Structure 1
Amino acid sequence: MYNFNNLYEPTSVEEALRMKKEHPQALLLAGGSDILIKIREGKLAGCDLINIYCLEELRGICLEDDGSILIRPLTSFTDVSMHPVIRKYVPVLGEAVDQIGGPQVRNIGTIGGNICNGVTSADSATTLKAYDATLEITSLDGIRLLPYAEFNLGPGKVDLREGEMLTGIRIAKQSYENTYGQYIKYAMRKAMDIATLGCSVNVRLSNDKKHIDRLRIAFGVAAPTPLRSTTAEANAQGHGLNEQLLEAVAQGALADVKPRTSWRASKEFRLQLVKEMARRATKTAVEKAGGTING
């Protein structure tokens, strides 16, 4: 049994926002793959819920006129990974969400819920940060656009203010055009486990395929929130495709991350994972882009 008080079921985003304003302590229920577990465990017992799962206007993916990719927050992980726009332009995002839970979780869980939970292990978070995603956040007063890089305020805390809800995730054309990415997840089990560490890299090569034109790299479970490694990115800028590039990216990543020891892994082990995964993900992304890492 699930111990909650009231369940509100809006039929539109506007109605959901009105309900949220009238009941500011109520929680938004999307797929429920996280929140219902917390209710059952007693962590959120007695809460009020606003069920937005049936709001079709918050579901789907499209390519907009300016070339940006718009992902609505109620899009399931399965639909993200299967959608032709994602497969064509940012397949690494589909590859990342394909590693979340099992098929049942991926069918019901939503990409919006994944990032709004604010957990550092969210598999979609690292790739969205590495692609400079922008969030569309809506209230009854209008829409504000927020870089996803600024969304995470701390463990489990995100920049959703009273009366607001996430209504869109955008990846600009200049962020994904001519880029190739790789996501690596290390977990205690090979499937149906949260990440001990996650790493997402995407690269754009020079026209002659011999240098890095742009590299983006982000980590999960390497700090209290998912984070970009700007030092690693700066180290890679204009670098030739060689072993020194991989070492520069790895050392730059180590300079930015702040892992801690938990029952899943020690700080020292996570630092080793950061270094190795940065190297491997960068190498694979370069190869996908048509480059070759020389000795």
Structure 2
Amino acid sequence: MTRTITVGLDGSSESLAAAEWAAREAGLLGLPLRLVHVWEPVPVPMAQAPLLGVETQAHWTERIPREAADGIRLRHPGLEVTTEQLSGHPADVLAHVAKDAELLVLGSRGMSGIGGFMVGSVGLSTVAHAERPVVLVRAGEQAADEHEMDPAGIPSAATPFRPVVLGLDIESPNEELIEFAFAAAARRKTSLRVVHGWNPPPYYAYGLAADLELHGALARRETVALTEFLHPWREKHPDVEVTEESHYGTPGNHLVDASREASLVVVGRRIRRNPFGTHIGPVAHAVLHHSAAPVAVVPHH
């Protein structure tokens, strides 16, 4: 079965922005785009209310995905676009359809006046349970936002892509996560910016603030370790320019800072079999809520 770029569509500006981003990504990957609208059945008493009649239901289950697909076909000629209507709890349905997707793309509201997302319960639950990569796109995301500035200081789709940013823990790295980031940078013909955050072992912590020499030695050790770790990946992907940064402190904060100049931020999430709760890890959680760029969460064991 050919994998698709799948979008969870609900008619909101966030999901329409996600669909537009997904269409561009489908074009880069040469894959079809699948728009999935999930309709959650309402309780019988509510379903019988005059405002929730047949016409309203038809609008949500047919008109929204159809109109979204028509618009995407006009803006992306040649792209194969399909629509599908499913019923059930949105987070459960989206996590299920993600199994057949190369990527699942969802929308998130941008925080007014603050760079970043507002990730709702459906988005968090889907990210926590999907076993394929999930990308969250903020409302209002435009193609130009992913590109460098032109000579006039304006981002344009005619200028190169901004770097892809990868959050990397060299203590427990995952090949799927790293490969995803390199591939994303390669198809955008842009560089990969690898950001590694580190904290000293507990027995160093108390003396570190007063001992600049010790801090410098630990920083150099982390920098060398990052360079050595990335060496085989540079050889495997010689066409991708790699820049690396090793920072003292919380990794999530450094990734949020890097997101302001990124076309995509890539973070990992360890797959857990616990059916309760939305376990996505502190770094992914911080980036999802505060990134200024689209975020790809790549699940791994």
Greater Cα radius of gyration, structure 1 or 2: 2
Q: TM-score, normalised by structure 2?
A: 0.30
Structure richer in helix, relative to its length: 2
